[in-house]
């Protein structure tokens, strides 16, 4: 049923409250909770209802899969999630026991807009994470944060010698972005 709502998209918006209820109470159904978390932004659930439920799932759910999907959904809500305090939840998720949750959280932070600046020191710590996925995501996030992250160029440069090819590529891309001249406000970079 949940997969069908996901596929229906915005027309399934009236089911948002039911999905949130299932996300929070259907403890025996890991796959169902994951689908609920994933479906909320896809059906256009109102951020004031969905973001707190996703933040609770990220902070409290015992399943790393549900937590990882909750991060991806918070990322899709972007600034609407940031206005509801999701940055703090994502910052905490950078310390999650599971590498996928930590990496997803790092990648999601730039979508929180200027509020993501609060996470710079946490992202700098994630550059030294044991998991290559997390290190790469942290480098990418810092590159996306641009000017606000320029003070961390040396930490990102250290990843140019990383044992993982993917991490090195992401570090190179981040450094390119950080070294680009800033564009005037409102003018996109080419």
Q: What pLDDT is recorded for position 187?
A: 42
- Residue 78: closest CA among 36, 41, 37: 41
Copy the structure tokens of residue 105: 């959280």
Q: Mean pLDDT over all residues of the chain?
A: 90
Structure tokens at 70: 């909750």
Q: Show me where the domains of the chain are located.
A: 2-179
Nearest Cα to Cα of residue 178 among 189, 187, 166: 189
**Which CATH number does the domain 2-179 belong to among 3.40.1360.10, 1.25.10.10, 1.20.120.530, 3.40.640.10?**
1.25.10.10
- pLDDT tens digits, residue range 22-34? 999 988 888 999 9
* Segment 113-117 mean pLDDT: 94
Segment 86-106 mean pLDDT: 98
Distances (CA, A) of 12 to 70, 71, 96, 161: 19, 21, 32, 48
For 127-167, the pLDDT digits (tens) are: 999 999 999 999 999 999 988 889 999 999 999 999 999 99
């Amino acid at each position: 049923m949940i997969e069908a709502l996901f596929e229906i998209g915005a027309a399934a918006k009236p089911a948002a409250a039911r999905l949130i209820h299932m996300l929070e109470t259907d403890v025996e159904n890991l796959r169902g909770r994951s689908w609920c978390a994933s479906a909320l932004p896809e059906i256009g659930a109102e951020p004031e209802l969905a973001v707190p439920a996703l933040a609770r799932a990220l902070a409290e759910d015992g399943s790393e899969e549900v937590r990882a999907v909750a991060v991806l959904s918070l990322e899709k809500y972007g600034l609407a999630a940031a206005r509801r305090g999701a940055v703090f939840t994502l910052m905490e998720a950078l310390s999650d026991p599971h590498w996928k949750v930590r990496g997803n959280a790092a990648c999601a932070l730039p979508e929180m807009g200027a509020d993501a600046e609060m996470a710079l020191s946490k992202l700098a710590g994630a550059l030294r994470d044991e998991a290559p996925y997390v290190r790469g995501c942290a480098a990418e996030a810092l590159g996306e944060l641009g000017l606000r992250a320029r003070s961390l160029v040396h930490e990102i440069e250290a990843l140019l010698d990383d044992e993982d090819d993917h991490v090195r590529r992401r570090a190179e891309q981040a450094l390119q972005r950080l070294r680009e001249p800033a564009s005037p406000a409102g003018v996109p970079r080419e």
